Amino acid sequence: MDPTGLPEPIRARMEQLAARPPIDKVRDFLSGYVADAGGLSEIRSDLQRVASFNTATLRADLEALESILSEPQAPGTLLHLVAGHGGWDLDDNPTDAGAGVVLGELAELVRAVVEQAEQGRGAP
């Protein structure tokens, strides 16, 4: 989306949102797409709906997920993100490692949805 034609307050807000730290973006992603979802199929459906008109925000979410997974985090951070903000059940492995697996799966899901949407539109 080309923001040059938008009013200044909207452009400023877009820049402010884009400049947030990756952990804030991941927190918002989890709260928005994962927290009340009934499973991966519902998350996929929601992501596909968004990707049908805007892949830029999902690309930013993917970048944030990849950043969180590639950089060392304080103990308990990943667990808190997934179990707390995402409301995801980690009974089998309630650790940062278990949460990292879930975040990795979510990143792969976002990547696949974005690629599928962009291929459908003929985007590179």
Closest by CA to 111, choosing from 62, 57, 55, 66, is 62
Q: What is the DSSP letter of 95?
A: S
Burial 30-55 (b: 16+ CB within 10 A, else e): beebbeebeeeeebbeebeebbeeeb
CA-to-CA distance for 81 and 96, rounded, in angstroms? 9
Q: What is the mean pLDDT of residues 68-84?
A: 95
The reply to whether the predicted model has a pTM over 0.85 is no
pLDDT in tens, 79-121: 999 999 999 989 889 999 999 999 999 999 999 999 999 987 6
pLDDT in tens, 26-53: 999 999 999 988 889 999 999 999 999 8
Predicted local confidence at residue 13, as pLDDT? 67
